[in-house]
Amino acid sequence: MTAEHPGDASGRSAWNQSSPRGIGLVAGTVITGSGSERAIEQVVDKGSWLAERASCVSGNRLLGADGAGPVRTQAREILLPRSAEEIADLVRSLPPDTPVGSVCGGHESSNAAAVASDSAVVLDMARLKSIDFHEESGRKLVTVGGGVVFRELVEAVRVRQGALPVGTGPGVGIVGYVVNGGLSGYFSRRLGLLGQRVTRLTMVTAAGEIRVLTPDDELFTAMLGAGSALGIVCDLTLDMESDSVVRGAEQRVVAFETRAQAVAFAREALRFQRDQVLPDEGMSMELVVAGTKTLVVTIVFYDSFRGSMAEFVAPLEALAARLELPIVASSHFGSWYETAAALWPVINAMKGNPLAMLQHCLGSEGAPTDAILDWVCDTVVAEAPLDEAPLSIVEIRTLGAAVMAMKPIPSGNCRHRFFLDLITHYDAKEKTVAERREIAAMTRSVIEKARGVEGLAVDFSGTHSQPDDPGANVSPSLIFGSEAMVELVRAQKKVVDPGNRFRFHPYAKFL
């Protein structure tokens, strides 16, 4: 950090070692809308804060002539409130035209709220860490504060012998994941999307009003896919299942040397995924092609599965043997918790100075055709910049089942059964600006080719697509699942935020 650039995000120690308790805070006196005074923690060192809170940086921000320089937050102020009442008072105390952003886990690819604008006030939710378990009408519920991340929730739910369709990133914020249409590749076919399990949420409107919403409110539904564009979510309540819904999981890690070998394995593994897994709602499957020259196959078996888990994965083991590819790791996960936590060490190892990310998703509403699967193998697996950006991964998952049986929310993931996530990751410090541009160009080339494939949707997920790509032609009805959902969200936006104070949603340009 330098005195000349207090908003910079640079330096490995800042990116990897900062914690919310050590990011240059000072208690300042804030005059709230109610006329009272509150001591609100305020960020002084914005550079350290951005390094701590933005787990990655959009690769598009690192392509200019000054791309070798640090990424900066433009926020005028960054505050850390401790309650819904404090947030409401803060919002009322600001001029009505002041834009407001909120940050939790900081994993959104463009980090629109963290970077914000020079007139914006950003509210960091890191102090809202409550996790409360209770029962209502025979249902086991958990209410989580706006600053809770997946690792914290998973560890707490484990103690209660519960299960939720959580994401695989341990540091991803629960609220941000839910209100931007998140998904769970491992658990959603049995448990639905996490947003579909929300029973109540507390939010603050642009006028500083605290509202407690339930499924009877139209605003409630709109919040579960476009929430950060409509208000500030302070907490939400989730309907848990017993951990017995997951029998276990089998994971095999296969090593490869050449991209042709990865293509050959993926071609047959994806047909197995389509023909053997998609028709059976008792399981889900994910194939990951990693820049570390590994193929990771994970099959999760739910409580309705009958048979031997080890025997079910035998054809994939035989495939590896036939292609003369070694299985370098073989794991059995015996519970929901072990499966949920399986990738935490891998994700935690994805570090950069800063870590650059470009993220796009592809998928089909029905089972993918042979033509789609061949294209995925011959183009995405073969041409994605996995060698140039070795932290990158291609995730190919099964969705659908319980998601489609539950009430839709504003998320394209509600309509898709086949899902591919191209996540281009690299350590920006190790790349010249020219190399960064090459990586971005290779990624965009794959995505542009995808737009011409019949039956393949492109960038339909609010949490798994790149909102700041130049010239991106993204469909609002794909992002939010349908034109009816787009109109619902737009109508609620006009009611609760007519002045567009909450403009830092990744796809606020649609609203």
CATH number at residue 324: 3.40.462.20
Q: Does residue 55 form part of some domain?
A: yes
Q: Please state the separation of Cα 182 from the chain's center in Å.
A: 6
- Are residues 254 and 192 located together in one domain of the fold? no
Q: Does residue 344 form part of some domain?
A: no
Which structural domain, as residue segments, surrounds residue 42?
8-124
Of 60, 91, 124, the residue that ends a domain is 124
- Are residues 475 and 485 located together in one domain of the fold? no
- Are residues 303 and 413 located together in one domain of the fold? yes
Q: Does residue 2 form part of some domain?
A: no
Distances (CA, A) of 124 to 53, 89, 335: 9, 15, 33
3-state secondary structure 284-302: EEEEEEECCCEEEEEEEEE
Of 124, 147, 171, the residue that ends a domain is 124
pLDDT digits (tens, 9 = 90+) for 50-76: 888 888 889 998 887 655 556 788 999
- Are residues 100 and 149 located together in one domain of the fold? no
The pLDDT tens digits along the chain (511 residues) read: 223 333 444 332 222 333 444 555 554 555 454 555 667 899 999 988 888 888 888 999 888 765 555 678 899 999 999 999 999 999 999 999 999 999 987 777 678 888 888 999 999 999 999 999 999 999 999 999 999 999 999 999 999 999 999 998 899 999 999 998 888 789 999 999 999 999 999 999 999 999 999 999 999 999 999 999 999 999 999 999 999 999 999 999 999 999 999 999 999 999 999 999 999 999 999 999 999 999 999 999 999 999 999 999 999 999 999 999 999 999 999 999 999 999 898 888 888 888 999 999 999 999 999 999 999 999 999 999 999 999 999 999 999 999 999 999 999 999 999 999 999 999 999 999 999 999 999 999 999 999 999 999 999 988 888 888 887 778 899 999 999 999 999 999 999 999 999 998 877 777 7
- Are residues 422 and 491 located together in one domain of the fold? no
Number of domains in the chain: 3
pLDDT digits (tens, 9 = 90+) for 95-129: 999 999 999 877 776 788 888 889 999 999 999 99
Q: Does residue 231 form part of some domain?
A: yes
Amino acid identity, residue 312?
A: F
Q: Does residue 3 form part of some domain?
A: no
CA 315-321-327 angle, 5° bins? 90
- Are residues 110 and 195 located together in one domain of the fold? no
- Are residues 506 and 475 located together in one domain of the fold? no
- Are residues 372 and 461 located together in one domain of the fold? yes
Q: Does residue 136 form part of some domain?
A: yes
Q: Which of 103, 104, 105, 98 is nearest to 121 (CA)?
A: 98
Q: How far apart are the first and last CA of the chain?
A: 37
pLDDT at 23: 53
Cα gap 297→289, rounded to integer Å: 9
433: helix, strand or coil? helix
Of 124, 158, 186, the residue that ends a domain is 124
Q: Which of 343, 267, 282 is nearest to 312 (CA)?
A: 282
- Are residues 256 and 323 located together in one domain of the fold? yes
Any residues with CB less than 8 A from the CB of 484 and at least 6 apart, and which? none
272: helix, strand or coil? helix
Residue pair 90/125 in contact (Cβ under 8 Å)? The answer is no
- Are residues 320 and 416 located together in one domain of the fold? yes
- Are residues 276 and 388 located together in one domain of the fold? yes
Q: Which two three-digit tokens encode residue 82?
A: 């401790």
Q: Does residue 28 form part of some domain?
A: yes
Q: Which of 358, 350, 381, 349 is nearest to 436 (CA)?
A: 358
- Are residues 211 and 65 located together in one domain of the fold? no
The partner residues of 254 in beta bridges, in order of sequence, read 295, 327
Q: Does residue 343 form part of some domain?
A: no
Residue pair 186/339 in contact (Cβ under 8 Å)? The answer is yes
Distances (CA, A) of 354 to 108, 288, 289, 312, 393: 14, 23, 23, 41, 18
Question: What is the pTM for the complete model shown?
Answer: 0.91
